[in-house]
Amino acid sequence: MRVSGGIPQHDRKPRELPPAQAPPQPRGGPPILLPSLMFTALSVSVISTLGAPMVPTIAREQHVSLSAAQWVLTVTLLAGAISGPVLGRLGDGPRRRGAIQGALAGVFAGSVLAAVAPVFGLLLVGRALQGLGMGLMPLAIAVARDHLPKERMRSGISSLSITTSVGAGLGYPVTGIIAQHLDYRAGFWFAALLSAVALVVVSWVVPVGSSVPRRPLDVAGAALLCSGLGVILLALSQGVAWGLSSPATLGSFGAGVVVLALWVLQALRARHPLVDIRLIRNRAVLAANTTALLMGIGMYGVLSLVNLYTQVPAAAGYGFHLSLTAAGLVLMPISLGSLTANRVASALVARVGLYRVLPLGALVVCVDLVLLAFCRDDVAVLVLGTFLLGNGVGAAYAVMPLLIVRHVPPSETGSATSFNQVLRTVGGSMGSAAISAIMLAYTPAGGDLPRGTAYTTALLATAAASFLGVIAAVVLPPRQSAGSDAAPAVAAGGPAVGTRPAGSGRVSSAVVPRSDGNQTGEDL
């Protein structure tokens, strides 16, 4: 059964793609495709975290408040949330490589602009352009699904997914070293170099596109999504200054919700929506997406909180007055924890299945945030906390795309995984903006630093969000046996697309009919 325009069409037997429609092979060959994709994803992840280690420095040199400087993070996450579905939709067509190249070119331009920006406004524009790179993850996953050998596809997609947390852990110490010994602008020049190298690698290795025909871009949907998210984030970041019950704050929240509701209605009616909202009806996809939103609040929130806390002068009664380099090294265990979790998660999936690993990862993050809320008087505790954070985030992020890809058509891989990435970055934007509001609320009038209880409040708030993620990951997925989702036959090098194993009545293909009329991907 095939789906065309949302209407099931029944065929007598699954059909194979004609050889002429098969996706082109990368010029660099399969052995270097995955390393190239991982380098690109890791590069943009490192670049997206560049602003965080330097928030205090940027606030001082640009003569803005600490809460205003926090927008260096928020605007990047917002741009990533918007670019994700746009790039995901473009990546599901024949111009996938062009979409990746365009995004990397934008990251390069933004890095140069941020490096030379004479005023804070232009610096924010540069950081917004850098956020385009955060939308590349869905395209990398789509490339991996289309071109990696079956036996490497599952591990490849998991490895790509955790580059978000690995890159964050690496980005802080690297940019801290550059900014401390050179200048914060040197960090953005480093980003320009990194994005330029990634652009060359992508141009040489990544295939041109998929065999899916080109579809028109949903411009109206992109405009509505951007407007709705922007207004809500503005209310989050300025709510304390305006007053939480002020007409400006409540009006902004209300307007944002209305615009996002209009976006949902528009997406449901559009022939080629920016994000296919109908895909989230699947309970497994809904679980992955909901958990991504809630864990995004915790992950990105903790990164900025720990970085700020470690650099606060000891005279404030808390903090360690660490240098940029030392503060970045405190966050580096996130990378080690994510890499460890990726291997552990693979073993756990084989034993208990994808659905049980997801809530486990969210639970580790929740417990870790509670630990940091009450025990942070020693640098060693912070190091342990960031390592545990990496383990929890890495385990959850490793299985999220696997859950999604196995329940959506191959032609929707980029769009479906981009929506998950959108929710990660939206959660990060919400967490960053909410933390800015908490910091401002706990800062005495005329003071520069918030009281120490601000960090306790912020960490408990992010822990609560992660706990909701645990609940979502437990309640939303469909009920099935412990190991039933552990390892589909195709992942181990099963039959080719559209074929039936001898003596079997079950189609073993990358597109499997479902009773609700949708096609699903079971190539993982």
Is pLDDT of 237 > 80? no
DSSP 499: B
Is pLDDT of 515 > 70? no
pLDDT in tens, 385-398: 999 999 999 999 98
Question: Smallest Cα–Cα separation from 99: which of 158, 140, 130, 157?
Answer: 140
By the 8 A CB rule, do 387 and 364 touch? Answer: no
The pLDDT assigned to 499 comes to 35
DSSP 494: -
- Band of the pLDDT at 258, cuts 50, 70, 90? very high
The pLDDT assigned to 121 comes to 92
The pLDDT assigned to 265 comes to 93
Is pLDDT of 520 > 50? no
Q: Considering only 185-199, 229-243, 403-417, which range has the smallest mean pLDDT?
A: 229-243
Beta partners for residue 519, in sequence order: 513
The pLDDT assigned to 42 comes to 92
Average pLDDT score over residue span 5-27: 43
Longest dimension (CA), the chain: 78
The pLDDT assigned to 517 comes to 38
Is pLDDT of 102 > 90? yes
Q: Considering only 59-68, 104-113, 430-439, 509-518, which range has the smallest mean pLDDT?
A: 509-518
**Phi, psi (5° rounding) for residue 162?**
-85, -5
The pLDDT assigned to 30 comes to 56
Average pLDDT, the chain: 79
Is pLDDT of 364 > 90? yes
- Band of the pLDDT at 460, cuts 50, 70, 90? very high
- Band of the pLDDT at 103, cuts 50, 70, 90? very high
Average pLDDT score over residue span 201-219: 77
Q: Considering only 1-10, 273-282, 500-509, which range has the smallest mean pLDDT?
A: 500-509
Neighbours of 133 (CB within 10 A): 33
The pLDDT assigned to 213 comes to 64
Give the highest mean pLDDT range of 293-302, 445-454, 468-477, 478-487: 468-477
pLDDT in tens, 177-203: 887 787 778 889 999 999 999 999 999
In the chain, the percentage of residues whose pLDDT exceeds 90 is 29
Query: Which has the higher per-residue pLDDT, 380 or 514?
Result: 380
CA–CA distance, 372 with 457 (Å, rounded to integer) = 11
CA–CA distance, 246 with 259 (Å, rounded to integer) = 20
The pLDDT assigned to 379 comes to 92
**Phi, psi (5° rounding) for residue 309?**
-60, -40
- Band of the pLDDT at 13, cuts 50, 70, 90? very low
Is pLDDT of 495 > 50? no
**Phi, psi (5° rounding) for residue 64?**
-125, 165
Question: Smallest Cα–Cα separation from 168: which of 102, 87, 294, 73?
Answer: 73
Is pLDDT of 171 > 90? no
By the 8 A CB rule, do 80 and 425 touch? Answer: yes
Region at 503 (left for phi over 0; alpha for psi -120 to 50; beta for the rest): left
Average pLDDT score over residue span 311-335: 87
3-class SS of residue 30: helix
Considering the four listed CATH numbers 1.10.10.10, 1.20.1250.20, 3.30.1330.10, 3.40.50.300, the one that applies to the domain covering 27-217+274-487 is 1.20.1250.20
By the 8 A CB rule, do 195 and 176 touch? Answer: no
Q: Considering only 32-46, 121-135, 229-243, 503-517, which range has the smallest mean pLDDT?
A: 503-517
Beta partners for residue 513, in sequence order: 519
Q: Where are the domains of the chain?
A: 27-217+274-487, 218-273
The pLDDT assigned to 286 comes to 92
pLDDT in tens, 260-315: 999 999 988 888 787 778 877 788 899 999 999 999 888 877 887 888 899 888 77
The pLDDT assigned to 12 comes to 43
Is pLDDT of 163 > 60? yes
Query: Which has the higher per-residue pLDDT, 155 or 94?
Result: 155
- Band of the pLDDT at 255, cuts 50, 70, 90? very high
**Phi, psi (5° rounding) for residue 274?**
-60, -45
The pLDDT assigned to 327 comes to 87
